[in-house]
Amino acid sequence: MGSLFDFDAVRHRFAVMGNPVSHSLSPRIHQAFARQSNIQIEYTAIQVDPGGFTQAVGNFFSQGGKGLNITVPFKHEAVKVANCLTDRASQAGAVNTLIWKSDQHIIGDNTDGQGLVVDIQKNIGVSIDSKRILIIGAGGAVHGIFFPLVEQHPAHIHVANRTVSRAESLVQKFSGKLLDTTTSFSSLENIPCTDPFDIIINGTSSSLQHKSLALPAQIIKPDVSLCYDLMYASQPTDFLLWAAENHCGMARDGLGMLVEQAAESFYQWLGIRPKTGPILADLERTLHAANDQ
């Protein structure tokens, strides 16, 4: 325990805000980053009641907080709390990271898309360049990952959603920023099957609800396609089970994305780029152990 007069024992205060938030792995991840970097931080999980988000953020920063991660259901509300937004937060229309610069200057960032791209390309080893990508869903999570994927120059992105108008709206939102990527959209029932996809991303909440999606097996390239669920759990999600049953090349959940987006937040706050491999491996061991019990 630090001395009574050791006021600098904790130099940086951070937290994750959401509702619910008690299940969050963010405190564990960021404490691991801090130990690796030989710095002391305090990182807590703060559950915020509906209607109390703006005040909670103000209280946190007025009490010396340096940075916040924001999770559901406050990512859109966090846009209004920030004094300015990074380009990727503006593109996403949502904020998952708040960076304190001064009493009057809070930067809003979104590191979700960066986390996904790094996990796919560095950790899994699949290049996005020139690939055909299918994104299932058109909600807030997909808005956060769409443009970071476009920046990696895939050949084509198809968005399929239960409500087709939302898929169309998402594609149109980014229509002027597509670089060399072509796009299309459909309902879930009308996903084109003539040319299967290299990467299939489940961006819906179906895995949280333990619901299966009625997807045609023909969208998978046998032994090639990467099927990626933005959600993670101790057991394979229904989407990943479907992918394995239909002989995908690889099936991965969003745990790596969680760690990589956290690493990007840590870097934005402290200017330190942590090594994510050891932390990701430790979390995977923990989840597998829970699954075996």
What whole-number distance in Å separates Cα of residue 106 and Cα of residue 160? Answer: 35
Q: What pLDDT does residue 5 have? A: 39
Q: Is residue 133 part of a domain?
A: yes
Confidence of residue 102 (pLDDT cuts 50, 70, 90): confident
Confidence of residue 228 (pLDDT cuts 50, 70, 90): very high
**Residue 10 pLDDT exceeds 60:** no
The verdict on 99 and 118 lying in the same domain is: no
Q: Is residue 235 part of a domain?
A: yes
- CATH no. for residue 246? 3.40.50.720
The verdict on 78 and 40 lying in the same domain is: yes
Q: Is residue 214 part of a domain?
A: yes
The verdict on 244 and 147 lying in the same domain is: yes
**Residues forming a β-bridge with 135:** 159, 201
Residue type, 288: H
DSSP assignment letter at 150: H
Tens of pLDDT along 116-148?
A: 999 999 999 999 999 999 999 999 899 999 999
Tens of pLDDT along 150-194?
A: 999 999 999 999 999 999 999 999 988 888 999 999 999 999 999
**Residue 289 pLDDT exceeds 80:** no
| Domain encompassing residue 98 | 12-110
**Residue 28 pLDDT exceeds 70:** yes
Confidence of residue 293 (pLDDT cuts 50, 70, 90): low
The verdict on 24 and 85 lying in the same domain is: yes
In the numeric block, the tokens 């989407």 are attached to 239
Q: Is residue 287 part of a domain?
A: no
The verdict on 185 and 68 lying in the same domain is: no
**Residue 2 pLDDT exceeds 60:** no
Q: What pLDDT does residue 3 have? A: 38
The verdict on 60 and 102 lying in the same domain is: yes
Coil, strand or helix at 245 = helix
**Residue 230 pLDDT exceeds 70:** yes
Q: Is residue 277 part of a domain?
A: no
Q: Is residue 288 part of a domain?
A: no
The whole-number average pLDDT for the span 211-234 is: 94
Spacing of C-alpha 149 from chain mean position: 12
Query: Based on the structure, what is the number of domains in the chain?
Result: 2
The whole-number average pLDDT for the span 78-99 is: 96
Confidence of residue 8 (pLDDT cuts 50, 70, 90): very low
Beta-sheet strand order (sheet of 250-252): 182-187, 156-161, 132-136, 199-202, 226-229, 250-252
**Residue 243 pLDDT exceeds 80:** yes
Confidence of residue 25 (pLDDT cuts 50, 70, 90): very high
The verdict on 119 and 249 lying in the same domain is: yes
Q: What pLDDT does residue 9 have? A: 52
The whole-number average pLDDT for the span 14-30 is: 96
Q: Which of 75, 101, 177, 211 is catalytic?
A: 75
**Residue 7 pLDDT exceeds 60:** no
Share of the chain above pLDDT 90, in %: 84
Q: Is residue 4 part of a domain?
A: no
Q: Is residue 269 part of a domain?
A: no
The verdict on 87 and 121 lying in the same domain is: no
The verdict on 120 and 105 lying in the same domain is: no
The verdict on 145 and 159 lying in the same domain is: yes
Please answer whether residues 144 and 112 qualify as being in contact, where contact means their C-beta atoms are separated by less than 8 angstroms: yes
The contacts of residue 206 (CB under 8 Å, 6+ apart) are 212, 213, 238, 239
Q: What pLDDT does residue 292 have? A: 58
- CATH no. for residue 40? 3.40.50.10860
Question: Does the annotation count 75 as an active-site position?
Answer: yes
